[in-house]
Structure 1
Amino acid sequence: MADIAFPEDLIALETTAWEEIQAGRLTVETATAVQTRLTEFAAEAGVDRYTAEMGLKRAVRHPEPAEG
């Protein structure tokens, strides 16, 4: 799967959702905000929404360690 450059606002939304999931308190509002923005982003970027969603989850939940 190709690396996708996600905008900071989408990363922030998914990060909030992931934190809520881990705390057992994901709200419909948060989930809807992520899906709405993700769908917009996928259309703008010309990528499949499913591919974008999997890449976003990977980027937030399993970030690559920084090289250095």
Structure 2
Amino acid sequence: MAIELADELIQLRRAADQARARATAGPYSAEAWRPWLEAAAVVHDAITNHAKATGQNRYEVEKDLVTAAKTAEGAPEG
């Protein structure tokens, strides 16, 4: 069964990936990592809500979302 992903989910994941890249570009600090952790929490909640609403497996949604976010045009590597 193909997982249906909303563009909004893909954009949220890409934003979290970009926040991770910024957070890990320098030395650790709680302030630098906060945007990444907050973005990751938003993505996690969105994945869970999407899976519940569509009756899809949450882990399959997340796996396909990771792939979709990385293959989307201009997606950051990593």
TM-score tier (shorter): 0.7 to 0.9
CA contact (8 A) 1:13 1:34 kept: yes
Tell me how far apart the structure 2 counterparts of residues 22 and 45 of structure 1 sit (CA, whole Å): 31
TM-score (norm 2): 0.68
Matched, 1:21 2:20: yes
Which structure 2 segments of 5+ residues have no match?
A: 25-32, 73-78
- Moved runs in structure 1, 4+ residues, more than 6 A? none
Q: CA deviation at 1:29?
A: 1.1
Q: State the partner residue of 2:8.
A: 9
- Root-mean-square deviation (CA, aligned residues, Å) is 2.0
Q: State the partner residue of 1:44.
A: 53
In our comparison, the structure showing a higher alpha carbon Rg is 2
Equivalent residue for 1:34, pick from 19, 23, 43: 43
Q: CA deviation at 1:28?
A: 1.8
Tell me how far apart the structure 1 counterparts of residues 2 and 70 of structure 2 sit (CA, whole Å): 15
Deviations 1:4-42 (A, max 9, x none): 221122111101011122232552210110000110001
Tell me how far apart the structure 2 counterparts of residues 3 and 18 of structure 1 sit (CA, whole Å): 23
Q: Percent identity, aligned pairs only?
A: 26
Moved more, 15-24 or 39-48: 15-24
TM-score (norm 1): 0.76
Q: CA deviation at 1:62?
A: 3.0
Query: How many pairs are equivalent?
Result: 63
